[in-house]
Structure formats: C-alpha cells, structure tokens
Structure 1
Amino acid sequence: MTRMNISVKNLKDVVEMLNTVVTESKFKITPSGITVNAVDPAHVAMVSLEIPKNVFAEYDVEAEEEISLDLEKVKSILKLASSNDSMVIVKDREKLKFEIGNIIKSISLLDNNQITTPRVPQIVAEDYVVMIKGEFERGLRAAEDVSDAIRLTMTPDNFSARSMSDADESEMILQKDMLKEIQCHETIKSSYPLEYLLKFMRSISPSEEIKLSFKSDYPLTIEFNLGTDSPERIKGRFLLAPRMES
C-alpha cells in the first residue's frame, strides 16, 4: 500500500507550480521520493520537481509506481484545508484517497498511457546569477504592459531585464553588489516570453532565492526550492525556450 502524509502547504506549492504549465501530471513514486516532469502543450516551458521522502511526515512506499492526476481536482480538495493542516494520501486500487481531519475525499486516477512524461533535456550553461525572487519579479511586472517578451542580459558586473515596444520601454538593472551571486565571463543576451515567466513566478515565495542560467539565444533554466516546514526542500527546475528575435 502507498500511504503518505504531507503538509497542505507543501502539496499546494507542488500543485500550483505544475499548474503553471499543465492541468494533468504523471508522478513517479519510489521508496526514496517522488519526481514529476511536466511540459506545456506548446513545448515552450517545462517544470521538473524532486520531492524527497523526508518532506513527508509519513512515507510508506514499498515499490516504484506511476500515478497520473487531474490537478484541478486536487486543487479543489486543497481548498477544504488550511495551510497549517496536514493531509494523508492513500492509493486504493485506481483511486487516490485524501484524508483531511474528519473529511475523506477520493478521486479517480487517470490512465498513465494518456499522460506523456517529457524527457528532461541536458542543458548546460556555465554562466548564472542568483537573486531574490521578489527582485526579479519586480522587473517582470514593470515590463508586462510594454511587450510580450523580455530580454535578459548578464555581464560580469550586472544583470538586467529589458522590454521594449514602439512606444514604451522598461528596464531593471541589478548591479553585482545587489545580487546574491553572479558568474559571467562575457556579455550574454537572450529573450524569453514574458507570460510564462510571470505565471511561474507567482508560485514561488517572494523571499526565495532563484538561480538563473542561460546563454545567448539559449533556453533559460531557473532553479528553485519549494516548501518551508520540512527537513528537506522540494527541489525544482523551470526550463523556458528562448524567443528568437529577427
């Protein structure tokens, strides 16, 4: 029997993050933890999460298996609980049972064959910048009424996010001493779709650190953590294809 006990906040963080790109997901459950990869229908953005067993208050998994879920149904169950609650999850044949206090709800599992598990591409970018998520999001929000794309630039001394249209322009510049960390050997520039970045940012706490790595006209990788009340953190990666400019 597969039985888990997880905080509502951690589960909500996972569901909301996946929901930035998909409405259905396939989870790989192993004795050491859970992994899930999801790519949006347009194959522009991808979320990859690793949830170690120590994130759970109880984690009883005897064998490796995959389960597929409708995330909207899970979100409706989460609305019945507060962030301070914990939730027991039990797999019962082709259903998943959720226990929150004196409430028990079950949902049917989806057919695993109907959910494609994307392959995580091996993207290597040696140059990166580490900053507080809230700082990056401010730059994105300043640009959302200017254009549907944002151009990220990294130099050895600063990081900037710039958006332009025929009439308007927005730019955020963070000097080296305003960043947690920066490693850059030469000027790097690449543009990305703003809508995806804004949706993704809403699912991360403003005070969290994020690591952005990219090359010129190359996919963007954002590494982040989720969860606050567990011995280990939920590790995640967000991949975003570049917007090629003429």
Structure 2
Amino acid sequence: MFEATIRADRLADAVDATAALVDECRLRLDEEGVSIRAADPAVVAMVEVEVDADDFHSYAADGEVIGVDLTRLEDLVRVSDDDDLVRLRLDAERRVLAVEVETLSYSLGLIDPDTVREEPDLPELSPPAEATMSGAQLDRGIAAADMVADHLRLRVPESRRSLRIEAEGDTDDVTVELGPEDLIDFSPGEADSLYSLDYLKEMNHAIPSDASVTVEMGTEFLVRLAYEAAEAGPRVSYRLAPRISTA
C-alpha cells in the first residue's frame, strides 16, 4: 500500500537529484518516508535521496519496494507547476503508479525492482576535511574548472587556511580559493584528490544555488556532497570516487 500527496517542486527535486546519475532506480516506500539509493552504471558515483513522510501533504506506506523509470517520471513533473499537488497511488495488482496532477491522470508502468541495478553499500569513512559552502560557490568552482580541464582537484594546502578548487589544462590553469570568510563552515584537514568533472557537472545541475552543500574529502579519497533542498525538500548526498594518481 502506498498513497501520498506532495508538492510538484519537492517531487522534482528528488527526481532530478537521482536522475543526475541513473535512468531507473528502486523506491523504498516505508512508514518514515521514501528513500532511494543508486549507483551509476560504472559504479564510480552513487546518490542517496530521502524524503521524510512529514515532507508530504499526506502519506501512507507499508514498506513496498518499486522500480521506476525516472525519465518518464521526470516528464510528468515537467508538466506541473511548482505548487501543484501531485497525488501518487500504488496499484500493486496492475504494477502501476497512478499519478494525478490537477486535471491530468497518468498510469506509470513500474519496473520489476529485481531487474534494477543493486543498491550500493554505503562506505563507512572518516573524511579528514569538511567544508560547507553555498550551491552558488560550488557552481562557480565547477564552472571555472570546466573552462580548462575535464577533471577538478579539491585540495587543502599545508597552511590549512583555505579550500582550493583547481584544474590544470594543456595550456591554462584555474584556481578558486575559498577561505573561512567564503565558507559557511570549515574543518580543514589533509585533502588532495582529483575528480571527474563530467560527474560533478551532472550532480551540480541538481543542487540549488541557495542550498548549503557540505563537502567531505581527503587525499585520494571519495568525496561526498550533501545538501537539503529548501522548504521541506529532500535530503540528498552524492559520493564520487577519486581518480587515483599512478605517478
């Protein structure tokens, strides 16, 4: 059993965050809310999304797990205004998710969850460094790096006084240096890792510019980007494996 009503913009935040990495996923519909955990096909990046039951206008669920084609769900969200209420109801016998928005009714055929890529295990790590910045600051750093290279370096220099977002191209280099005055919070530690910009750009598209983004990092260390969308939106975290230096 699953029946819920949620604002279209909150549903869009959750769908867009997940669709940044995968085209289909499992939705876990528990009493506490809806949760998603998925890895990209190369198992280089993963996403975790949680929408609490309290973030819905109405919510009832008893632990179903369903498989969803995110591209089709994205299309449904696109025809809605932000403040529209989206009504969701699981028809377990027909294996469809009934979706209603204003005058629109749609039966979304579900995927067998057993055919969806297995959910990744979350690694238990203790990141040496952590910084919290606005989504706009992160966007600026990614855009600057994208001008010169296809990888981005996150580095805390030996002075431990700043976080540097760096990129080295064939002819040009770029550095965005964020000191404590530029960051919402900063816990410096040893950090120096290189990451794929292709993945970071996809993640960044889903992160609101006004969100507070916590970045956990280290040296040749998986990076974690975590944020919560405003006004009862979903909690989202991305994890991305580093490019390991062979030098």
- Please confirm whether the aligned pair reaches a TM-score higher than 0.5, indicating the same fold: yes
In structure 2, distance between residues paired with 1:17 and 1:9? 12
Question: C-alpha separation between the residues in 1 aligned to 2:111 and 2:139?
Answer: 35
Three-state SS of the structure 1 residue aligned to 2:89 is strand
Q: Which digits, 9 at most, give the CA deviation of each residue in 1:203-228, with x for residues without a partner?
A: 111011101111100100111112x3
Secondary structure of the structure 1 residue equivalent to 2:126 = coil
Query: Could you report, residue by residue, the CA deviation over 1:101-124 in whole angstroms, capped at 9, with x for unpaired residues?
Result: 121100111011101222222222
Q: 1:191 aligns with which of 188, 191, 194?
A: 194
Write the deviation string for residues 2-44 of structure 1: whole angstroms up to 9, x where unpaired: 1000110011111111111100010111111111101100111
* 1:99 aligned residue: 100
Instruction: Give the gaps of 5 or more residues in structure 2.
Output: none
User: Could you tell me which residue of structure 1 aligns to residue 32 of structure 2?
Assistant: 32
Runs of 5+ unmatched residues, structure 1: none
TM-score, scaled to structure 2:
0.94
Corresponding residue for residue 19 of structure 2: 19
- Candidates 191, 198, 219, aligned match of 2:222: 219
Matched-pair contact (CA < 8 Å) for 2:128–2:191: no
Q: How far apart are residue 165 of structure 1 and its match?
A: 1.8
TM-score by length of 1: 0.94
SS of the residue corresponding to residue 149 of structure 2 reads coil
| Aligned residues with identical type, % of pairs | 23
Q: Is the 8 A contact 1:192 1:240 kept in 2?
A: yes
Corresponding position of 1:10: 10
**Amino acid in the other structure paired with 1:207:** D
* Aligned counterpart for 1:150 among listed residues 140, 149, 152: 152
Q: Distance in 2 between matches of 1:220 and 1:192?
A: 8
Amino acid at match of 1:171: T
Specify the alignment match of 1:181 in structure 2: 185
Q: CA RMSD in A?
A: 1.2
CA distance in 2, matches of 1:218, 1:172: 20
Is it true that 1:236 corresponds to 2:236 in the alignment?
yes
Superposed displacement of residue 126, structure 1: 4.0
Preserved contact between residue 37 and residue 120 of structure 1 (Cα < 8 Å): no
Is 2:138 the counterpart of 1:136?
yes
Aligned residues: 241
